Structure 1
Amino acid sequence: MKSLLLSVSITASLLLSPLVSAKDITPIQKKQLTEISGLLRDNPELINPLHSNLKQYLDGQKSLETILKTNHDYLYNNPQQPYFGAENPKLTIINFTDYNCPYCKRLESGLVGVIKKYPEIRVVNVLLPFQQRMIPGLKTNTAWYALNVWENDHSKFAEVHRLMMAKPSRHDSSSIMKIAELTKTQKDLTPNQKKMALVEKNEQIFSQLGLRGTPSLIIGNEIIPGFIPQEDLEKMIAKQL
């Protein structure tokens, strides 16, 4: 009975989410709603706990909407956050990412691919140093360094970003120093309070959204935790556009 309740609760929650309007309900979903109604009529003991679960779920959705609304400009219109793609985008993707996260590196190629296919979109990289708080032997981390480059050596950022994402394993002082030397951004290895505060704010929003790991994306009104293949990414982008 517990598994039945969980299945009904999840299905109904997804279908009745405030992010899903009546016009979005497909014929398959209409059939599922009819089946749910029948299950509840045949098992009335499920009604009270299902109602409680639905209310809790919808309250959580409202909370997420509030967090996103409060932090909208910080995420979408903040010149301090690195981005690539369109200057006047029709769609902006928020990408919570970490230069030491292997799945973030896998996602990177997909994001580059969709930008080529959909030049009207923008990807904002919200940088997080979860995998490595401090680079051994240096007084910085990858997020602080990249944010310094974005602000101080903007024309060099794309190459620094590419090189940091290209390394399959975790960065160390040797790899970061080599990237800095190749791009002549050694001065950006010195951290500052402004970048530290920016990364701290990034982490706070990430936590408030209930996210647990990188990569995590926000596409339109959908939050997608974890890696997503380029094919699925393109489908979601096409739907939003």
Structure 2
Amino acid sequence: MKQTIEAQNITESMQNTQVIGGTKMSKFSSLFKHRKLQMFAVSGVAMAMLVVSLPSVSTMAYAKDSSLSAAQQQEVRAILKDALINDPDLMREAIIAWQAREQEGANTAMQTSLVTHHKAMYETKSDPWKGAATPEIEMVYFTDFNCPYCKKIEPSLNQLIEEFPQLKIIVKMVPLQGEGSKMAVDFAQTVWLNEPEKYLKVKDMLMSSPRGLDAAAIAKVAKLTATERWVGNTDERVAKMVDDNVNLMNELGIGGTPSMIVADTLIPGLVPYEVLKEQLEAAIAAKDKTQKSS
């Protein structure tokens, strides 16, 4: 099953902590001998989680539970309050369990979306790329020229290509950082469509700019790369390509750049090289295993 880096952190936390639903459930059994009281207490912890963020629901926490008498409800409130005060881990464990359940649902939705949009990610001929021309493994990379974190992750991606010559990185350029980003993406995508041999130099120079790109900075890059003819002369195909990239991000639930996808794993944000390498090696190993078994 697909996992994001955040999902792995939650899973590790769950492995290191016995969550509600497992061994820790015995705490409730010892506190509440009556089955109704146990279930009411569990729902109480859930409501307590809501109360933390939405205090106004506290008055409704038990209003609709008619299976217990008023005295029983009062007893549960008192016991639950005492339990949370004396064992705050109960709240923490409930939150962890809830987060894990939410993440599992998100992972399932992401997995389905990755399958649905596989062609848009990997088979769009208009996308720039770098690395292996006949790859054994591919990575999709969403990037913005004015994104400071994209600038910082570029050396790691270049290092991946050096260490894994079988890797191809497909570049999905998206203008999320204002007008300067849009001008840069229009220019770079146009260069790719018309003079693809000059694209990587253009991209690297745009990414290496220490400040936000504007018309003057882009014109300077164009002059240094002999691509002046494409400044302000955007290829008519570019608008749809860029819209497709942005829409694809939205369909995949990706909220920003940089974001990388390797096989069925989303790697969001600026992460260390070791994380990228680990995920790539895992994808290669999984692919090798599948090929051997087929």
In the alignment, which residue of structure 2 is the partner of 1:201? 244
Computing the radius of gyration from Cα coordinates, the structure with the larger value is 2
* Whole-Å separation in 1 of the counterparts to 2:160 and 2:229: 33
One-letter amino acid of the structure 2 residue matched with residue 198 of structure 1: M
In the alignment, which residue of structure 2 is the partner of 1:78? 124
* Whole-Å separation in 2 of the counterparts to 1:52 and 1:237: 30
* Whole-Å separation in 2 of the counterparts to 1:53 and 1:172: 41
**Is the 8 Å Cα contact of residues 180 and 214 (structure 2) preserved in structure 1?**
no
Of 252, 271, 286 in structure 2, the residue corresponding to residue 228 of structure 1 is 271
**Structure 1 residues 159 and 239, CA, compared in 2 at 3 Å: closer, same or farther?**
same
**Structure 1 residues 176 and 239, CA, compared in 2 at 3 Å: closer, same or farther?**
same
In the alignment, which residue of structure 2 is the partner of 1:96? 142
Shift of 1:218: 0.9
* Whole-Å separation in 1 of the counterparts to 2:184 and 2:281: 32
* Whole-Å separation in 2 of the counterparts to 1:79 and 1:218: 18
In the alignment, which residue of structure 1 is the partner of 2:229? 187
How high is the sequence identity, in percent, across the aligned residues?
26
Of 159, 179, 188 in structure 1, the residue corresponding to residue 201 of structure 2 is 159
One-letter amino acid of the structure 1 residue matched with residue 27 of structure 2: D
In the alignment, which residue of structure 2 is the partner of 1:35? 18
Shift of 1:123: 0.9
Asked if 1:217 corresponds to 2:200, the answer is no
* Whole-Å separation in 2 of the counterparts to 1:93 and 1:183: 27
* Whole-Å separation in 1 of the counterparts to 2:128 and 2:180: 20
Asked if 1:115 corresponds to 2:191, the answer is no
Q: Which moved more, 1:152-161 or 1:188-197?
A: 188-197
In the alignment, which residue of structure 1 is the partner of 2:212? 170
* Whole-Å separation in 1 of the counterparts to 2:257 and 2:217: 22
> Following superposition of structure 1 onto structure 2, how do residues 40-79 of structure 1 map, counting pairs within 5 Å?
40-43=25-28, 45-46=41-42, 56-79=102-125
In the alignment, which residue of structure 1 is the partner of 2:2? 19
Shift of 1:208: 2.3
One-letter amino acid of the structure 2 residue matched with residue 209 of structure 1: L
**Is the 8 Å Cα contact of residues 75 and 81 (structure 1) preserved in structure 2?**
no
In the alignment, which residue of structure 1 is the partner of 2:87? none
* Whole-Å separation in 1 of the counterparts to 2:183 and 2:211: 15
The count of corresponding residues between Structure 1 and Structure 2 is 213
1:69-89 deviation digits (Å, cap 9, x = unpaired): 222112112121111011222
* Whole-Å separation in 1 of the counterparts to 2:279 and 2:99: 28
Asked if 1:238 corresponds to 2:238, the answer is no
Query: TM-score when scaled to structure 1?
Result: 0.78
Shift of 1:203: 0.8
Shift of 1:57: 4.1
Give the secondary structure class of the aligned counterpart of 1:81: coil
Shift of 1:33: 8.3
Query: TM-score when scaled to structure 2?
Result: 0.65
Unpaired runs of 5+ residues, structure 1, are 1-17
1:164-208 deviation digits (Å, cap 9, x = unpaired): 111121111111111111222122221244211111111111122
* Whole-Å separation in 1 of the counterparts to 2:144 and 2:202: 14
One-letter amino acid of the structure 1 residue matched with residue 23 of structure 2: G
* Whole-Å separation in 2 of the counterparts to 1:54 and 1:101: 30
* Whole-Å separation in 2 of the counterparts to 1:224 and 1:34: 25
Shift of 1:132: 2.2
Give the secondary structure class of the aligned counterpart of 2:168: strand
**Structure 1 residues 161 and 223, CA, compared in 2 at 3 Å: closer, same or farther?**
same
**Is the 8 Å Cα contact of residues 85 and 121 (structure 1) preserved in structure 2?**
yes
* Whole-Å separation in 1 of the counterparts to 2:26 and 2:230: 65
**Is the 8 Å Cα contact of residues 40 and 46 (structure 1) preserved in structure 2?**
no
Give the secondary structure class of the aligned counterpart of 2:179: coil
1:103-140 deviation digits (Å, cap 9, x = unpaired): 101100100011001111111111011112356xxxx6
Unpaired runs of 5+ residues, structure 2, are 29-37, 47-93, 285-294
